[in-house]
Structure 1
């Protein structure tokens, strides 16, 4: 959802989750993969890899 919207607020609203929950999940994803989805170039890499 975050990759579609690019917004923490919209993502949390769409997922019915608190914004801190979304931030914590993005942080954890970054810890596990080494990719920070809040950086546009890095999130673009994920989208291309996911679709490719």
Structure 2
């Protein structure tokens, strides 16, 4: 989290809070490797799909 916060220029707690909020909104658990892989795959498809 500390490294991600540094890359995003925000506090570590901000990253944790945003991940928690994402989990509330989507029912995905960012600490679960399967859920994390699903989210990453979905983002890749979303950004690579033609408009």
Whether TM-score is above 0.5 comes out as yes
RMSD: 1.0
2:28 pairs with 1:20: no
The alignment's TM-score, normalised by the length of structure 2, stands at 0.77
Unpaired segments of 5 or more residues in structure 1? Answer: 1-7
Unpaired segments of 5 or more residues in structure 2? Answer: 46-51
Aligned 1:30-49 pairs, distance under 5 A: 30-49=23-42
Provide the aligned length of Structure 1 versus Structure 2: 45
- Larger relative contact order, structure 1 or 2 (CA cutoff 8 Å, min sep 6): 1
